[in-house]
């Protein structure tokens, strides 16, 4: 009996999906937007929690307000970790202040039932790795690539490490800087390489006299200033400083390039659901994604080119940071700190 209902529901859903495609699809999207606008006019408000830099999130929000002047927006900007804690704590206390959250750690919010499903019409333009294709709980806004970076005055392009293993060369001893909380990188390598290979690699890396620092932006800057020749960096950060003339570059041949995805999700109990959905559609749209590219970020949307051809999704061996339960994650963190004696 139950099965029948499920099958029938799936069929209806499938039919709905079909009806969304091609010419009809366009009209459907226009209807969809019109409905949201109508609802949003009554709400008149939007609260967005994000870990996106204020210099980037604010202009996006300004554009949104320009497009929908009847919505007054509120922005709360903090690190992903802080937002995650804040949302979980607020929600436990029964306080639903946020309509939207955009952080890399969105999986935790889904796990704590703070995020509800919403499949934006725009999400069709996103590859399955960069959205929650099953549950529809989140869609990527932009991605961060964890890659090897180097100071071009101290290291030639030929000499620069091509694979993660090249970090183990004795000549780099004491010359590599890594963020002391490089957990996503570690977790992803574990998933990609398996435990044995990763353990062996990390054990050898730990003997390289790592220059620990805190913060990827800081690391990229210090690398540019010559504090150390090599580091694990964010590709977009290097790209952006390189364009300003900093003597730094990055390597796109490592396997895998670890990718964290800053994703947007709708609150499970939004106060302003229509405005929130409008914003999700807006931020996933081609125009907004192009704006994100102008920040030298790598937009998640497949049909928007990255700021540099070197970052093309299809040409690289990308691996998205896997989501894991908090307990498992804490174990990884403990292992990472134990391996490196932190």
Partner 1 sequence: MGETLRLHLWQHGIFLLILFLVLAPLAFLILGSFSTARLPGDFSLDAMGLVNYIKVYSDPGTFEIFSNTVIYVAGSTALALALAVSLAWLVERTNMPGKVLVYAGVPMTLAVPGMLQAMAWVLLLSPRIGFINQLLKDIFGPETPIIDVYSLGGMVFLEGLRLVPTAFLMLVPLMRSMDPTLEEAAAVSGARPLSTLRKVTLRLLAPALVAVMIYQAMTALEVFEIPGILGLPAGIYVFSTKIYAIVRTATFMPVYGQANALAMVYLFIAVATTFFYTRMIGRAERYAVITGKGYRPRQLDLGKWKIPALGCALLFLFLSIVLPFLVFLYASFLPYLQAPSWNVLKALTLKNYRLLAEYGEVGSALKNTVLMVGATATATVVLSFLVSLVVIRSKFWGRKLLDQMAFMPHAIPGIVMGIAFFWLFLKIDFLPLYGTIWAISIGFTISFLAYGTRSMNAALLQIHKELEEAAYVSGAPPWRTMWRIFVPLMMPTLVGVWIWVVLHAVRIAGMPLMLYEGPKNQVLAILIWNMWDEGYVPAVAAIGTLLMIVLLLLTLAVRLLGFRRQTMQIGGT
Q: Could you list the residues that contact partner 1 (CB under 8 A)? A: 47, 53-55, 58-59, 74-79, 81-82, 84-86, 88-90, 92-93, 95, 97, 105, 108, 180-181, 183, 211-218, 221-222, 224-228, 241, 244-246, 326, 329-330, 333-334, 337, 341-342
Complex with partner 1: residue 125 or 155, whichever CB lies closer: 155
Complex with partner 1: residue 111 or 305, whichever CB lies closer: 111
Cβ at position 60, least distance to partner 1 in Å? 12
Q: Which two tokens stand for residue 254?
A: 């490592």
Cβ at position 277, least distance to partner 1 in Å? 20
Cβ at position 257, least distance to partner 1 in Å? 21
Cβ at position 334, least distance to partner 1 in Å? 7
Alpha-carbon distances of 298 from 34, 213, 262, 302, rounded to whole Å: 30, 24, 10, 10
Complex with partner 1: residue 125 or 205, whichever CB lies closer: 205
Complex with partner 1: residue 238 or 283, whichever CB lies closer: 238
Complex with partner 1: residue 291 or 301, whichever CB lies closer: 291
Q: Which two tokens stand for residue 1?
A: 């009996």
Complex with partner 1: residue 92 or 315, whichever CB lies closer: 92
Q: Which two tokens stand for residue 118?
A: 């919403």
Pair 297, 235: CB distance under 8 Å: no
Cβ at position 199, least distance to partner 1 in Å? 20
Going by C-alpha positions, the residue among 339, 64, 322 that lies closest to residue 193 is 322
Complex with partner 1: residue 3 or 214, whichever CB lies closer: 214
Give the C-alpha separation, 214 to 57, whole Å: 23
Report the chain's terminal Cα–Cα distance, integer Å: 56
Alpha-carbon distances of 261 from 122, 157, 210, 253, 319, rounded to whole Å: 17, 28, 26, 20, 10
Complex with partner 1: residue 120 or 262, whichever CB lies closer: 262
Cβ at position 303, least distance to partner 1 in Å? 28
Cβ at position 74, least distance to partner 1 in Å? 4
Cβ at position 166, least distance to partner 1 in Å? 22
Complex with partner 1: residue 121 or 149, whichever CB lies closer: 149
Give the C-alpha separation, 26 to 121, whole Å: 10
Q: Where are the alpha helices (DSSP H) in the chain?
A: 2-20, 22-43, 54-67, 80-92, 106-111, 183-193, 195-206, 216-225, 235-243, 273-284, 286-294, 326-340
Cβ at position 48, least distance to partner 1 in Å? 9
Q: Go through 106-116 and write b for each residue having 16 or more CB atoms within 10 A of its CB, e for each that does not.
A: bbbbbebebbb
């Amino acid at each position: 009996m139950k099965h029948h209902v499920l099958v029938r529901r799936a069929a209806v859903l499938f039919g709905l999906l079909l009806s969304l495609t091609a010419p009809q699809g366009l009209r459907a999207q226009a209807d969809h937007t019109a409905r949201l606008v109508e609802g949003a006019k009554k709400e008149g408000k939007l609260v967005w929690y994000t870990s996106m830099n204020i210099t980037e999130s604010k202009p996006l929000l300004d554009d949104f307000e320009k497009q929908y002047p009847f919505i007054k927006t509120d922005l709360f900007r903090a690190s992903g970790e802080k937002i995650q804690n804040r949302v979980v704590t607020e929600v436990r206390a029964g306080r639903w202040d946020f309509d939207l959250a955009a952080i890399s750690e969105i999986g935790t919010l889904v796990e704590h039932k703070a995020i509800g499903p919403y499949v934006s019409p725009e999400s069709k333009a996103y590859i399955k790795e960069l959205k929650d294709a099953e549950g529809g709980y989140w869609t990527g806004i932009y991605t961060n690539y964890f890659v090897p970076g180097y100071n071009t005055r101290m290291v030639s392009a030929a000499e620069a490490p091509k694979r993660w293993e090249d970090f183990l060369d004795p000549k780099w001893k004491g010359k590599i800087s890594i963020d002391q909380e490089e957990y996503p990188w570690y977790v992803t390598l574990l998933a990609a390489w398996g435990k044995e290979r990763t353990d062996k690699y990390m054990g050898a890396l730990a003997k390289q006299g790592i220059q620990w620092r805190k913060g990827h932006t800081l690391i990229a800057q210090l690398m540019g200033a010559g504090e150390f020749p090599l580091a694990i960096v964010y590709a977009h950060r290097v790209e952006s400083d390189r364009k300003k003339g900093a003597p730094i570059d990055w390597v796109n041949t490592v396997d895998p390039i670890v990718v964290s995805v800053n994703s947007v999700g709708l609150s499970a109990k939004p106060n302003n659901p229509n405005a929130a959905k409008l914003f999700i559609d807006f931020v996933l749209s081609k125009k907004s994604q192009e704006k994100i590219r102008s920040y030298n970020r790598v937009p998640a949307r497949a049909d928007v080119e990255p700021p540099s051809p070197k970052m093309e999704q299809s040409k690289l061996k990308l691996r998205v940071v896997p989501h894991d339960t908090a307990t498992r994650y804490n174990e990884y963190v403990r292992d990472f700190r134990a391996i490196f004696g932190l």
